[in-house]
Structure 1
Amino acid sequence: MSGQTDERAARTDVHPEPRPEATGRHPSLDPAGPPTSSTPAAATDAAPSPEHPEPHRPAEEQPTAAVPAQSRPTERITTGRDVLGTAAGSQLTDRYVLRQRIGSDPGAGAEFWRAEDTVLRRPVGVTLLRRLPADDRSDDPEGTARAGEMIVRALRSGCFEHTGSARLLDVLSPGTHGVPADVLGAAVAEWVPGRSLAETVAEGPVRAQRAAHAVESLAAAATEAHQHGLVLGCDHPQRVRITPDGRAMLAFLLPRPSVSAADDVRGLGGLLYCLLTRRWPLSVADAARAGLVAADRTPAGRLRSPSQLRPGVPLELDTLCMGALGQGGEGWGRVHTAAALHRMLVDVVAEDADQALFPPVQDGAPSDPDDVWQDSDHLPDSRNDPQRRRNLRMGLAVLGVGVLVVLGYLGVQVGTLFGGSGEPPVVLPPAATVPAQTQAPPAPGTGVAAAPVQQVSAQVFDPTGNGDNPDTVDRVVDGDPATTWATSQYFQPFPALKPGIGIMASFDSPQPVTKLTIESATPGTVVEVRSAPSEDASLEQTRPITTVTLEGGETVVPLDGARPTGNVLLWITTLGSGNQSEVGEISFERAVQ
């Protein structure tokens, strides 16, 4: 301001400054600057032309007789709105644009704005710290020390993140480029979608359990903040917003320097009280500023409990509300910490979840459209609804047609069963009677025709590990006995290290396998042949068929082909010489009808 005064004094020979008593404006509100370089001084004193008419001035800015018209300053006298610089559309630095003023907290000298981040193209919530009006009785007439302390608090809380509080994105300190002169600082946070507290309770009080669920998330944020030595400042109704999923969140940061953890507890109690009763129990001025009704009090100055204003409020929420507000009666304690309040809310929400199958106790609030249990008084009367009657007639007609179709089908079946086809029945002579066939054993020397099973795949079966040499197991079904697959060489025989190792053979479809042939060069190997329901079945899910000890060369294992199977497990339970077994080829034969 002193720089402007010196500059004006230097130009008094061209444009003498009007006296305050002549203009009706205080000199401190007249940020007159030098004329632009494109407008000569002589031209500014000329009479206005039709192309450039002189702008209309308010009555208080009209020149008086004490100041000649030709001695008026050429600079435009800014209005109070221009001096403040925080109207809708104003910019903070070159990044944020103010869009809508949400509210204010005069105790903190703060304004709450919905703004736009022009870089990331997203909405943000901005808390502005305004310069307070000059007050000679104050040690800090402009609030500079107050704003500095709040900015320091904001910087300390920069690392704090919680789902119950908007995340701090940016802090603008005093003197930052692009910040208006009357703004002492600002905090930029994520924008919290949803509704304000006043909008939430405008249509009526919130159901008790929904109110407890809403405050529970903010109480959790306050609990964690207090554990880190921080405070939220949730004792102001315009700092809190209700998200679309029903959670209360702190939307605007920078609380007053005098706010303590106890004020946060009172704010949580006030938020719960307001959701239950539609009345704000703390500051009357804050209630009026937020568009809320102040809470009723008794002649003695005590708050009326939520259950007195709204019968049906659960006792635990009624007691918790009054205890957090410091209004607990005799025999009831006071809730001193956010952690205690949060624990009680968690219990209330959990109890409500356990009783979801039962109709809720009527607490005076209407049911929401998405509630399972609806109030009968609020259900629409659809008895005379034309659309409902039309749908009912169509449904009955379709049902009648379906019944007729079913009855007709049953009539045809019954008639066929008892009435026959209308022709005389055919009676076979005794000689034509066909005797019942019985299964006779095959004659000696004759056997069932067999054919090799094609398309056999193999994989290592090892329930305890990755299997032995899985890359070479397909050699046992390649048709060449010279190519072999071998197990690992173990230091001790089975089952010292593992119960066994196996080969799972799989077919394209279940086959009536009648014979298994195993080519091996390690005699003494004991193999259990098992059928498996699938190729990835466990050992317990397989069914043993037979057990065989391999001989040197070819070992033939007869199988029962009565039950077709799609997977056959060769489970090696005893290794050959040197604790190792080797298999050259396996083949299967199936029965042919």
Structure 2
Amino acid sequence: MTQVGEGQEAEETSPPVVTFGAPTAGEVLAERYELVEHINNDSAGRLVWRGVDVILRRPVAVVLRYPGGDSATEMLQAAVAASRVIHPNLVGVYDAIDEDDRAYVVREWVDGQSLRELVAADGPLDPARATAIGSAVASALAAVHATGMVHGNVHPGTVMISDDARVVLADARTDGADSQENDLRAVGGVLYFALTGHWPHGEAPLHGATAGHGRAALPDAVRDAGGAIAAPRQVRAGVPAYLDDLTMDLLDPEIAPPSSDVLSAELNRLDIPADEHFLEQAGPLRFTADTEDEPSPLAAAGGRKVALGIAGLLAVALVGLLIGISALGGDDKDKTKEPVSQPTSSAPAGGGTSAPAAPVRKLTIQDVRIIDPESRDRAEVRNAEKVIDGDPNEGWETASYRNNGKFGGLKKGMGIWIDLGAPRTVKSIQATLSSTGASAELRAGKNEFPSSSSGDKQLVAAYTERIGQPFEEHDGTTMTFDGFNPEAKYQYLLFWITELPEKDSGGGWKLGVQEITVQGS
């Protein structure tokens, strides 16, 4: 059982705080709130106690600060503001009292642990649980922001997970430096921490610490030589591309975050229980989807099984019919016997039959990623998932380059890396482009590499097998590669763009890839 405090946990070497008028177990504040157990102190002079509302007979958390007066003004103001917002994902604030020599806030008691403690104990969370926590935090912030207020204190210590799995955000602490944008950036930090166990915003407040937990800080994010943080998928396997991109976009200061209500709606849409098969496990959710063009959830989840079952029943019925005809024919003594057909080169002797070829169908693409080995700012690697969202009206596109179609002489090429999830027999791959005049080729490889400039360089160097013939200044908007070895299996492919078409007269060179589909078995 733990409870979140409102400030950093006190340094073990910090001087003792003032003890005059310090609360004691059994004391009743405001003739109503009995102090039961001291939970922890913080370096700002706040003390967190577990208490009981003796009138309503319910547990409460009592956050005290002494002396009170001006030093407690910010704490009381934040509590009063928070009390105006009622939301299932916000800790309820019941009372805020200033007694001059000390001030205290009475709020909901949460039986559970903070996200910081949960990850410290169990390690990084699975993507579904991380999404659910991020959704709850964003929903709480949407309620706060709707009133024009700011929370100002979002991090793994103020995100509480109760014993009944409820996720609540505690302890708003606003000041002049806070903003709604900072709250939203912090949601990206919470997602990053839940997925990796690392905090991307540098040193974080150590809220949520209980006695005996020590002074260990949150581990900093993994960073490259330039100080840029590694994406969650570079830190651990199994993070879906859409969740990785959303997290990194929220953390990117160059990308304006969505409003809290939009972020809440998107995370809520992504927060689907794992046992509900409304999505293929291999495919990410899309921001824009035309439901009229999508197969029904039932068909997506079980249609293949139903089709196989019907085919099996038809086969059994056909065999029974043939046996019946054979039996009837055997009783006809006057009927001239037909010669028995002999084995052919395509049908082995000995009564065996060759297995039918597996039907060609559209294969599920497990993951896609933009490959940009000569990039410095990685600005063009976003939105890769749009090339497999089933919507040809939206896609990924390069930046606009000047001078010539070969990326302005700055790059040898860019590409889209495709992961089929497992080795597959591939018949063809089709890329739908935004305009004519592009040059591209298709390559195959055996390994996956990190999503970074250096990782992309390794990938391009390793993917040396070319599939079919390259397209040079193609006069169409569809490129189809069908030179696959029917005896081989493929998992990783690279659609590699070597030359861009001219966008318009004097408008530079760029290319959009609207959709990529793979056919095989």
Q: TM-score range by the shorter chain?
A: 0.3 to 0.5
State the TM-score, normalized to the length of structure 2: 0.44
Taking CA–CA contacts closer than 8 Å with sequence separation of 6 or more, which of the two structures ends up with the larger relative contact order? 2
> Which is higher, the Rg of structure 1 or of structure 2?
1
